[in-house]
Chain A
Amino acid sequence: MKKKKWWTMGRRESLQGYIFVAPWVIGFLAFTLGPLAFSLYASFTDYNITSRMDFVGLQNYDQLFTGDDLFWTSLYNTLYFVIFSVPLTTIGAIFISMLMNQSLPGMRIFRTIFYLPAVLSGVGVYLLWMQLLDPGTGLVNTILSWFGINGPNWLFDPDWTKPSLIFMKLWSVGGSMLLYLASMQGISKNLYEAAEIDGAGAWKKFLHITLPLITPVIFFDIITSTIGSFQIFQEAYVMSQNGSGGPASSMLFYNLYMWIKAFQSFDMGYAMAMSWILFVVVLIITLINLKLAPKWVHYEGDDK
């Protein structure tokens, strides 16, 4: 009798829920939690990877907040990058997927072309962009000059280095295009046909049908690209002078500075403290996003 009451439908369902998420929990406990806990502890030490790990209390954190100008520079650079690149790439990706979500001649080829830059990765691509962005002979400024525009000094002008990287990011926006396409393909054609009967134009259809129905993916894209943008590293490492974030520290991003501390000065404890500060910053932003989500993210499947 008692047992039966305990074993309700709800509990049975919960159990199934736990089984579904169990693989992740197991993986987390086995492979991720340990290293995370270690790095949290090490952030309170002078850990140097190989020979030293003495507890120093809050010294690393104290030093970061009160005695390290480059920390603040790197934080500023990273925020600048996040604030511009996240909205621009999101809007860009939605726009391109709108263009792609049609049946036009050659669409498969167009989709492939637009997706292509997203799969090109590695150091070669960044070196390629250094060529393209060359102020004198690079392709970008050559094209600008056809329109009578005197292109900027891109990677040599501290005011233009971050825009250069944002520009590069926009080039490879085809990656998130994929997400939006997948989401748009799921939208019933009937909805559009019904709207057409009501005389809705393309813009109206986008605003009232497409946009609300892809909000779950927009939400996903914003959260993940925010997290990703905060961790921008390799672009700056390859494209800045000596990999040190120059000119004038304008490409010294958070993770680049952290990398220098960890693997060039071997001040790993300090780097780990930095990473936990970043963690808290990103977590707060994500939590705010999660809180705001119900106001604008529309899950068709949820009960209203």
Chain B
Amino acid sequence: MDMTERKQLPNKQERRKPVISNNLLRTLNWVLLVVGSLFLLSPIWWMISTSLKPMEEIMQFPPTLLPQEWHWENYVHTWQSAPFTTYAVNTITITLICVVANVFVNSFIAYGFAKIPFPGKNLLFTIVLSTMMIPGFVTLIPQYVLFAKLEWLNTYYPLVVPALFGSAFNIFLLRQFFRTIPNEMIEAAKMEGANHFYIWRKIALPLVKPALATVAIFSFNGAWNDFLGPLLYVNDESLYTLQIGLQVFKEQASTQWNYLMAGSLLVLLPVIILFFVFQKYFIKGANITGSSSFDK
């Protein structure tokens, strides 16, 4: 109540000055965004244009900016060059599990690091961070041997089971967001007899929705684009993923650029759509930070 009143308080005269400069700023902002978009889109444009050319044209010198003829059938051909429908189903399976697991498990672990005091927390957290610092390929071989001993080769277990136990990056990220939740809110809930599990679920999680959306998008990306993981652990071609499938357009000495680009764009499409849709969770995020000073 108090806040809405405040919003209506200033009279027209007081607000006019900022409004004008605001409009100017907004226009400038908009222009910057348009210019930036053009810059960012130019490589994408090049990909699209390449994907629609025949190979003869791609090999032409100097390169053409626009396709002379638009070969939309390249996309059909691309999809048929390998069992891409199977690969898509496989990729979606792995990705969904990883996303769900990442959001839940990491938010759980991160809450513990952010809001519950316990002995050894700082040391443990430093160890969490340090797991990010070892380059992946020195543990690649021993990890492979480990999964082989577990008889997990040629299954998706090596790809999804580790995700059930959290990842340093996401834990750290969510910890940062949980820490911005006012301690008073948690103390108040504890006074009423709530334990941390209840607080995590009912109070903390709803407050960090934008961060959860971020983790969801990051882990979607990570799993969707993972190449080395599926490549190492899966032997059956029927279990391959989209990123492995894209490699068929690359021989050691020549590349079918049009199909590679068409394939890359097709693989990219779901990610873009998902991001476009998911955005509203950023906007809808609760205002936590800074609100405490008003609540008091």
Contacts and interface: CB of A to CB of B under 8 A. Distances in A.
On whether A and B touch (CB less than 8 Å), the answer reads yes
Interface in A111-170: 111-125, 127-129, 131-132, 137, 139
B142 A227 contact: no
Interface string A12-33: 0111111111011111101110
A300 interface: yes
A148 B161 CA distance: 55
B283 A190 contact: no
Interface residues of A, number: 111
Interface stretch (A54-62, A63-71, A181-189, A240-248): A181-189
Interface in A261-283: 262-263, 268, 271-272, 275, 278-279, 282-283
B226 to A, nearest CB: 9
Contacts of B183: 301-303
Contact of B290 (A18, A109, A197, A209): A209
Contact of B133 (A34, A227, A290): A227
B196 A13 contact: yes
Contacts of A4: none
A275 B130 CA distance: 12
A99 B29 contact: yes
A231 interface: yes
A115 B218 CA distance: 11
Nearest to B114: A301
B139 A39 contact: yes
Contact of B282 (A19, A182, A216, A262): A182
Contacts, number: 304
B43 A132 contact: yes
A21 B7 CA distance: 42
B217 A178 contact: yes
Q: Main SS of chain A's interface residues?
A: helix
B105 A23 contact: yes
B130 A122 contact: no
B202 interface: no
A88 interface: no
Nearest to A129: B43
B75 interface: no
A128 B46 contact: yes
A105 B26 CA distance: 10
12 contacts: A14-B118, A19-B112, A24-B166, A27-B162, A123-B250, A125-B264, A190-B3, A213-B180, A213-B289, A216-B177, A258-B138, A301-B183
Interface of B: 3, 6-7, 9-10, 14-15, 17-18, 21-22, 25-26, 29-30, 32-33, 36-37, 40-44, 46-47, 61-63, 105, 108-109, 111-113, 116-119, 121, 124, 126-139, 141-143, 146, 161-162, 164-166, 169, 171-173, 176-183, 195-197, 200, 208, 210-211, 213-214, 217-218, 221, 225, 227, 243, 246, 250, 255, 260-261, 264, 268, 271-272, 275-276, 279, 282-283, 285-294
Interface of A: 10, 13-21, 23-28, 30-32, 34-36, 38-39, 49, 96, 99-100, 102, 104-105, 108-125, 127-129, 131-132, 137, 139, 171, 174-175, 178-179, 181-183, 185-191, 193-194, 196-197, 199, 201-202, 209, 213, 216-217, 219-220, 223-224, 227, 230-231, 233, 255, 258-259, 262-263, 268, 271-272, 275, 278-279, 282-283, 286-287, 290, 299-303
